[in-house]
Amino acid sequence: MQEGEPKGRELSYVMHENPLIDHRSDLQTPATTKVLLIKQNRVTKVQEHNNKNRIKLRMEINRLMTKME
């Protein structure tokens, strides 16, 4: 540093060039991830619907079986 220069003048640019900062986390979620989440949500809803139908079917089978006895 030369005499007469304010302290810290040479360091002002260093703060903006930190190679340790990972800027990838600042990006918006990729569209493919959003599509996958939407598809997974649909699959979950279908599975829930199928499970409800299985329960209803089992109950109906049990009802009919007890009627036959």
Query: What's the number of domains the chain is made of?
Result: 1
Structure confidence by residue, pLDDT tens digits, 35-53 = 889 999 999 999 999 999 9
Residue 44 lies in a domain: yes
Backbone φ, ψ for residue 62 (5° rounding) = -60, -40
Can you give the pLDDT at residue 33?
Answer: 83
- Residue 5 pLDDT > 60, yes or no? no
Residue 10 lies in a domain: no
Residue 64 lies in a domain: yes
- pLDDT-derived band at 32, boundaries 50, 70, 90: confident
Residue 62 lies in a domain: yes
Residue 38 lies in a domain: yes
Residue 20 lies in a domain: no
Structure confidence by residue, pLDDT tens digits, 11-29 = 555 555 556 666 666 666 6
pLDDT top residue among 42 and 2: 42
Can you say how many angstroms the Cα of residue 30 is from the centroid of all Cα atoms in its chain? 11
Backbone φ, ψ for residue 7 (5° rounding) = -65, 140
Rounded to the nearest 5 degrees, what angle is found at the Cα of 22, between the Cα atoms of 11 and 35?
150
Residue 15 lies in a domain: no
Domain span including residue 59: 31-69
Q: How far apart, in whole angstroms, are the C-alpha atoms of residue 63 and residue 2?
A: 95
Q: Do residues 28 and 34 touch, judged by C-beta distance below 8 A?
A: no
